[in-house]
Chain A
Amino acid sequence: DAGVTQSPTHLIKTRGQQVTLRCSPKSGHDTVSWYQQALGQGPQFIFQYYEEEERQRGNFPDRFSGHQFPNYSSELNVNALLLGDSALYLCASSLNTNNEQFFGPGTRLTVL
């Protein structure tokens, strides 16, 4: 049973560029959440997708957007990258009926 997978593992971008991160949920899960973990901090909630719609959003600007596909996989897009966007981006999946979230290994984004 595959767990949550994310791609790519690492990514280096320059300021102003755009990036897309991908996530495949654990088998059987229908809900995907995205978190940003800055160095030395706990994960911060970005948004959550269920039934291909953004269900809840954290305190992140509109430069952060996402999508969920019919197979429940998800993408996180960040436009106009800033140095401060450098972080580990975590995807977590869960069942809509149960808030136990399973995390992927993350994508390490470095913005130069």
Chain B
Amino acid sequence: AQSVSQHNHHVILSEAASLELGCNYSYGGTVNLFWYVQYPGQHLQLLLKYFSGDPLVKGIKGFEAEFIKSKFSFNLRKPSVQWSDTAEYFCAVSGGFQKLVFGTGTRLLVSP
């Protein structure tokens, strides 16, 4: 069965600090990988996705993620966070045109 692990449940950073959120998945076949963000009071939005090709993918708002197949990982990074990045971040995996399996999420708080 597919599963996703997000190791950091709560992260607190100061503005301009660098961010890296871990995501590991378990799936035996070809995967599609996603990071979604949920800002306070808003709905889930897609940050970035990996389907194939270049393992380093760039998303919106300066976020990027690297797919490392050998480590079954898809970590999210941002060089310098802003207060507006305060949100909950979800990693998700899918095997083709199928259901998304989400991790439990990471709550990020950025202090100004």
Contact = CB atoms under 8 A, between A and B. Distances in A.
Interface of A: 31, 33, 35, 40-45, 48, 56, 58, 90, 92, 96-106
Interface residues of B, number: 23
* Secondary structure call for the A interface: strand
Closest 3 CB pairs of A and B: A42-B102, A45-B99, A103-B44
A55 to B, nearest CB: 9
A20 B3 CA distance: 29
Contact of A100 (B4, B42, B49, B98): B49
Contacts of B90: 42-43
B30 to A, nearest CB: 11
Given A43-B44, A45-B100, A99 B32 contact: yes
Contact of A99 (B4, B44, B98, B104): B98
A98 B94 CA distance: 11
Contacts of A92: 100
